[in-house]
Amino acid sequence: MPISDVVQPLLLLALVAALTPPLGAYIARAMAGERTPLSRVIVPAERLVHRGLRLAPEREQTWKAYARSLLTFSFASIAGLYLLQRLQGLLPGNPDGFGAVDPFLALNSAVSFVTNTNWQNYLGEQTMSQLTQMAGLAVQNFVSAGVGMAVAIALVRGITRRRQETIGNFWVDLTRAVLHVLLPLCIVFAVLLLARGAVDNFHGAREVATMAGAGQKITGGPVASQEAVKELGTNGGGYYNANSAHPFENPDPLTNFLEILALLLIPFALTATYGRMVGSRRQGWAVFAAMAIIWAGMVTVAVTAEQAGNPIVQRAGVDQQAAGGALAQAGGNMEGKEVRFGIGASGTFAASTTGTSTGSVNSFHDSYTAVGGMVPLSHILLGEVSPGGVGAGLYGMLVFVLLAVFIAGLMVGRTPEWLGKKIQAREVKLAGLAILVMPATVLVLTGLAAVLGAGTSSRLNLGPHGLSEILYAFASQANNNGSAFAGLTGNTPFYNLTGAVAMFVGRFLIILPVLAIAGSLAAKERVPAGPGTFPTDTPLFVGLLIGVVLIVGALTFFPVLALGPLVEQLLQSTGQLF
């Protein structure tokens, strides 16, 4: 294995660990309304938004009111984005003259971007006008990430408060997340991308001559600015259909490294925010460690599997070499990967984008080996908590923390406690609901698609790989990831409608119990730690937390994984294809 394949993940983890404390502290101060180095510039804009919405920042909401505001905003966003797509042919900012988006596709895309999924059943450069890209999709990239961050902060407030009914104000939290956190970071990152060669203009398609003398249309547009928020907001998707494999979005190995860093940055930093808000930085580092260990394991397996190559091709290469020929696939499995990045950077990107609910890709997961392709699929199926999306990763992992605390309490035979709050039946039931929503959605919709003609007709492959393509699609959408296995034709009425359902349920039916947990914990009295209190900031608890995440994922999805990538790998190891 090349040394760069080892150094790059280690360097990423080191940079993330170094940046987590200062960025996490900044987010904690910004979301609390405290003064930050950027307050002089941003606070006037924030006050303007408050006046425009007639908000009183000091007026807080109960969890139910918080949830109503969030759902109202999200429903309005879906409706607005749907109409924008349907009317784009009549609106300006459309230099290529694109017409109205198909109704089923418009609904799927609207739900996709509002839920921070960014699943794309369309060719970006051939479907959406520049106005739709900027005023619709890019705006949702900001606010959908802001919604996730708001929910995470609301949950942490619920943990820290005592005998209170409120958990904050949704509109204030959303405004602060976008203006104080996402916007400044995106401006910096967009400039870096521009400096490295990413495009950002208002050009339509231009006819150019290739080196072979043929003609080719190259589409311009506001790419770098959307690329920045796509990665930093863990949105995913892409201006171009090739996504981050396109040189206009991801010009070179340095930008590729920076994009991986960008999508990891805020989710990991929020662990430090959590530690500061609960008054114990060790709590934040414990969650950070659990996320980092799972992420590192996934990266290791993905890169190793792709370096090993396809067993069938390797077997053929050995036979060919024995006959005096060259060894086939000696450099590993490069199918579906950019030569600019290679296997190491591609495998690291795949494990990172599916661990962060980003969905941006720089290689095609459908072309990975069976084990290599199982890594991004399994990473999604764990609930995308290592480190997860902006906000969504933190509140998802904290739900697992609650469950781990409950299990620890059962082990010692006493009422479990978490940061001075007793964990009782209500919180455990809500946590169970939040954890079970996603598996139920994925397995039910995958089962339907696997037996209905409308579902199976979109597969590229038969057998276990075809099942993996269907499973990956619904896993990606229900977990609000957005990456695709690249072997499924998703732009059909069946997949547009079922996909929209998966994305909506996977987002909001998890957020609602999380907010209910926040409200329940906020109303509780704090109790002092005693000799039987299980500490949640030790290596032992980190191990327990990782075990809970892996066991829940394994028990839920092992049967379907055994029918998909696992049996495919076993067949390939014997030289067989389905």
Q: What is the pLDDT of residues 386-418, one digit of tens each?
A: 999 999 999 999 999 999 999 998 887 777 999
Average pLDDT of the residues of the chain: 92
Please report where in the chains the tokens 């971007």 appear, as a residue. 113
Higher pLDDT, 274 or 202: 274
Which has the minimum average pLDDT: 49-53, 325-329, 532-536? 325-329
Q: What is the pLDDT of residues 441-483, one digit of tens each?
A: 999 999 999 999 999 999 988 889 999 999 999 999 999 999 9
- Please give the backbone phi and psi of residue 205, each rounded to the nearest 5 degrees, phi first: -70, 135
Can you give the pLDDT at residue 325?
47
Q: How far apart are CA 542 and CA 291, in angstroms?
A: 9
Which percentage of the chain shows pLDDT scores above 90? 77
Q: What is the pLDDT of residues 319-374, one digit of tens each?
A: 555 444 444 455 688 988 999 999 999 999 999 999 999 989 999 998 899 999 99
Neighbours of 206 (CB within 10 A): 10
Higher pLDDT, 289 or 364: 289
> Among residues 476, 482, 506, 505, which one has the least CA distance to residue 113?
482
**Residue 132 in this model has a pLDDT that exceeds 90:** yes
8 A C-beta contact, residue 380 and residue 136: no
Most confident range, picked from 45-59, 264-278, 525-539: 264-278
Q: Give SS3 for 256.
A: helix
